[in-house]
């Protein structure tokens, strides 16, 4: 009997993406003729053990397979060998283009073939449509990524050995991170050097009939006047007769329109998520990645809920705008939908490679997805959805009135504002304006001064950076690009060059030492303008206007001169141990305060013969209210949140998120705590209703 030959299996089309989560989603969209697998990020990079750059051969990089990626590369090669065609579908940015190029090299694919597909959103239509328009790998974009990687390697691997030798083992420095650190340290210097200026205000309360309204002193005899001191205040008050009426001398009524903000870019998303949701920049990007790659929606399958989240463009597609307009007309009425297409102006150096961050469909409302999203995913998706929808809505309209109230040449000014039409604020309001209602005032009306209050103030120093404001500063200065903000901030924290106090980013002593050394010997590296220009040069490489080798060459030669001078001139920095003021409880030798990777700690001066160490704790001057023996000390949780506990832990397990004080509640005898509020520090009892008036936090310190 003749043997039956096995039916030949149809060869499948192989698609290579970056992440396994995205691979599953895309394979469902493309169908059974496709096989989708993930490279799991980069598969080749510069070696960790050496510089990996051939300086004598136009800075050619010496790429090797990344350790641990052997099995992934084997799988990619095996699948490519039996595939009908291979498509490279990594992310639509520089890193994604470079990953596609590295994969093509590993699989011996022709990098001039039209096998590169990109999509801005992981939805069925977007993915399928991308395969109708494949293109070749964009080598200009690859060269821009290569140039950045090589420059960062040159800086990092040149500076780090100097820091190890001159300051401390284990330190490292980076190109963009050094600029971020300098921004933080410069702000701290501004705060320390700040000299407060005194100024005064006079707030008056007037009555028209039974209605009261507040007003601020504006000026004298038609000219605006500042109040630098109490003498100036008394000179103004001397002109006023309290028993006499004031006259409404001018009333200006107008209509004000407030326009919605643009949909999110990477930078603005990180800022708003930090301010509104208290998410760290890295956490924001991690959640956004999940929303982009796809969430299982039950019967609908896995769907990408937002567009690509690394972008500095404010542009949105006409299709998305049309869908938003339809949704707004159906849900809120035509008066809420913007007339015509709205265009938001990009910043000058925006790459505009793809759209702003938006939902892939506004009909997938946050509430409809609440059951399938985690709490973090839901909150971030709601923020993105609301911001985009608001950007396609009509302005909020306010009726405003400004009135000048005068007596003997002294002018008080009052302003009122009433919302006339909510417009976009019905969905998303990033300012939360309050209505200020005034009585009906007309010129010539007489009003009575009920009371006045003159207050002394002092100008405040600039605030410390938060993650949100540091991202904004990096973007405004043209330092880094959307994909670099989160890792840059994360890196300077992990290296303990800065630390978080609440939301504020504070430089450490170690960070100041490193910054001082780099600023002195490598001024270009920490120069904001120089770094911004380099970013522009990399953009020019991507646009095909500059040669990547020339860009590196122009940067490297001046840097090499600085490097040679620094190696010869930098003296070893001694981070001296400070006496701790007590002896080691193991060997009796004096304890000292040392600088470690995660800050200062107590250690025995006989190290390494004696390895006794202790954490440094800050006493708050209160005896433990639970055991009465230990001291209440300030501690940090795993998430870097401040809390208070007993120094005798674990013998005593007293713990409090709020700072206890040396007083007890007059009602029930429970210890009182200090709590931070927007108005200042309040003292209250955790058990009851007892509460004291807020006091100024600066005075409390």
Q: What is the mean pLDDT of residues 609-629?
A: 85
Look at residue 697 in the predicted model and tell me its pLDDT.
40
Answer whether 664's CB lies under 8 Å from 672's CB: yes
The single-letter DSSP state of residue 309 is S
Element containing residue 514 per DSSP (H, E):
helix 509-521
Answer whether 304's CB lies under 8 Å from 121's CB: yes
Look at residue 639 in the predicted model and tell me its pLDDT.
63
Dihedral of the alpha carbons of 226, 232, 236, 237, in degrees to the nearest 10:
130
pLDDT digit string, tens, across residues 38-80 = 999 999 999 999 999 999 999 999 999 999 999 999 999 999 9
Closest alpha carbon to 27 in 39, 18, 14:
14
Q: What is the mean pLDDT of residues 439-465?
A: 92
157 catalytically annotated: no
Look at residue 699 in the predicted model and tell me its pLDDT.
34
The rounded distance, in Å, linking the Cα atoms of 614 and 643 is: 19
pLDDT digit string, tens, across residues 224-262 = 999 999 999 999 999 999 889 999 999 999 999 999 999
Answer whether 512's CB lies under 8 Å from 181's CB: no
Look at residue 441 in the predicted model and tell me its pLDDT.
92
Q: What is the residue-averaged pLDDT of the chain?
A: 89
Dig out the tokens for 569 from the structure. Answer: 């001139």
Closest alpha carbon to 467 in 276, 279, 185, 264:
279
**Of the listed ranges 115-119, 296-300, 540-544, 596-600, the one predicted with least confidence:** 596-600
Look at residue 179 in the predicted model and tell me its pLDDT.
94
Banded model confidence at residue 147, pLDDT cuts 50, 70, 90: very high
Q: Which of 41-50, 292-301, 508-517 has the highest mean pLDDT?
A: 41-50
pLDDT higher than 70, residue 1 = no
**Of the listed ranges 141-150, 174-183, 198-207, 688-697, the one predicted with least confidence:** 688-697
Banded model confidence at residue 465, pLDDT cuts 50, 70, 90: very high
The rounded distance, in Å, linking the Cα atoms of 417 and 400 is: 4
Counting beta carbons within 10 angstroms of the beta carbon of residue 522, is it exposed (0 to 12), middle (13 to 18) or buried (19 or more)? Answer: buried
Q: What is the mean pLDDT of residues 383-393?
A: 96
**Of the listed ranges 54-58, 80-84, 272-276, 666-670, the one predicted with least confidence:** 666-670
Answer whether 342's CB lies under 8 Å from 391's CB: yes
Q: What is the mean pLDDT of residues 456-463?
A: 91
pLDDT digit string, tens, across residues 311-350 = 988 999 999 999 999 999 999 999 999 987 777 776 654 4
Of 34, 279, 308, 555, which is the active-site residue? 308
**Of the listed ranges 285-299, 368-382, 476-490, 591-605, the one predicted with least confidence:** 591-605
pLDDT higher than 90, residue 620 = no
Higher local confidence (pLDDT), 232 or 599: 232
Closest alpha carbon to 234 in 263, 202, 206:
202
Look at residue 347 in the predicted model and tell me its pLDDT.
63
pLDDT higher than 70, residue 695 = no
Q: What is the mean pLDDT of residues 129-148?
A: 95
Element containing residue 284 per DSSP (H, E):
helix 281-293
Q: What angle do CA 226, 228, 231 make, to 5 degrees?
A: 110
The rounded distance, in Å, linking the Cα atoms of 251 and 441 is: 7
Q: What angle do CA 613, 619, 624 make, to 5 degrees?
A: 110
The rounded distance, in Å, linking the Cα atoms of 339 and 36 is: 42
């Amino acid at each position: 009997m003749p043997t039956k030959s096995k039916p030949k299996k149809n060869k499948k089309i192989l698609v290579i993406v970056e992440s396994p989560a995205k691979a599953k989603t895309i394979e469902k969209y493309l169908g059974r003729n496709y096989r989708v697998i993930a490279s799991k990020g980069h598969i080749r990079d510069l070696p960790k053990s050496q510089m990996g750059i051939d300086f004598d051969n136009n800075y050619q990089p010496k790429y090797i397979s990344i350790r641990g990626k052997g099995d992934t590369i084997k799988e990619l090669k095996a699948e490519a060998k039996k595939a009908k065609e291979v498509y490279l579908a990594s992310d639509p940015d520089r890193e994604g283009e470079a990953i596609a190029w590295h994969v093509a090299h590993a699989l011996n694919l022709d990098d001039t073939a039209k096998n590169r597909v990109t999509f801005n959103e992981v939805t069925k239509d977007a993915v399928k449509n991308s395969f109708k328009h494949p293109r070749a790998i964009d080598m200009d974009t690859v060269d821009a990524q290569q140039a950045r990687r090589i420059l960062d390697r040159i800086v990092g691997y040149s500076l780090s050995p100097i820091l190890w030798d001159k300051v401390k083992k284990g330190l490292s420095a980076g190109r963009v991170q050094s600029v971020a650190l300098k921004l933080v340290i410069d702000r701290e210097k501004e705060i320390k050097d700040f000299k407060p200026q005194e100024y005064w205000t006079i707030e008056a309360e007037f009555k028209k009939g039974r209605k009261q309204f507040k007003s601020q002193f504006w000026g004298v005899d038609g000219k605006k006047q500042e109040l630098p001191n109490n003498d100036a205040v008394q000179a103004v008050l001397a002109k006023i007769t309290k028993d006499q009426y004031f006259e409404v001398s001018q009333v200006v009524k107008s209509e004000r329109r407030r326009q919605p903000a643009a949909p999110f870019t990477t930078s603005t998303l990180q800022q708003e998520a930090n301010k509104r949701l208290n998410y760290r920049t890295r956490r924001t990007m991690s959640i956004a990645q999940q929303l982009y790659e796809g969430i299982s929606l039950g019967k609908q399958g896995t769907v990408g809920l937002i567009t690509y989240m690394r972008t500095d463009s404010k542009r949105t597609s006409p299709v998305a705008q049309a869908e938003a307009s339809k949704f707004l007309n159906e849900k809120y009425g035509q008066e809420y939908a913007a007339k015509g297409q709205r265009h938001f102006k990009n910043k000058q150096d925006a790459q505009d490679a793809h759209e702003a961050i938006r939902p892939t469909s506004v009909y997938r409302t946050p509430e409809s997805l609440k059951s399938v999203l985690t709490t973090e995913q839901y909150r971030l998706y709601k923020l993105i959805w609301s911001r985009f929808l608001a950007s396609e809505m009509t302005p909020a309209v306010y009726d405003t009135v400004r009135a000048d109230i005068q007596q003997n040449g002294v002018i008080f000014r009052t302003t009122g504002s009433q919302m006339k039409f909510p417009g976009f604020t019905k969905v998303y309001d990033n300012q939360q304006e309050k209505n200020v209602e005034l009585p009906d005032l007309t010129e010539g009306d007489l009003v009575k001064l009920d009371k006045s209050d003159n207050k002394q103030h002092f100008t405040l120093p600039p605030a410390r950076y938060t993650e949100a404001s540091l991202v904004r500063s990096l973007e405004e200065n043209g330092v880094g690009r959307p994909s670099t903000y989160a890792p840059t901030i994360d890196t300077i924290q992990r290296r303990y060059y800065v630390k978080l106090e609440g939301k504020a980013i504070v430089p450490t002593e170690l960070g100041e030492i490193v910054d001082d050394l780099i600023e002195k010997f490598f001024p270009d590296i920490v120069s904001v303008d120089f770094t911004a220009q380099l970013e522009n040069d990399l953009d020019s490489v991507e646009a095909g206007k500059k040669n990547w080798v020339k860009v590196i060459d122009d940067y490297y030669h001046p840097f090499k001169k600085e490097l040679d001078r620094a190696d010869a001139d930098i003296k070893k920095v001694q981070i001296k141990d400070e006496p701790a003021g007590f002896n080691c409880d193991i060997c009796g030798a004096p304890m000292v305060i040392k600088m470690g990777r995660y800050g200062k700690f107590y250690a025995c001066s006989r190290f390494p013969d004696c390895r006794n160490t202790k954490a440094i704790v800050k006493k708050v001057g209160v005896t433990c209210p639970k055991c009465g023996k230990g001291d209440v000390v300030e501690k940090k949780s795993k998430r870097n949140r401040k809390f208070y506990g007993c120094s005798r832990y674990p013998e005593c397990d007293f713990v409090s998120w709020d700072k206890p004080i040396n007083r007890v509640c007059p009602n029930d005898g429970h210890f009182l705590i200090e709590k931070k509020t927007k108005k200042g520090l309040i003292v209250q009892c955790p058990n009851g209703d007892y509460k004291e008036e807020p006091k100024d936090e600066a005075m409390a310190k």
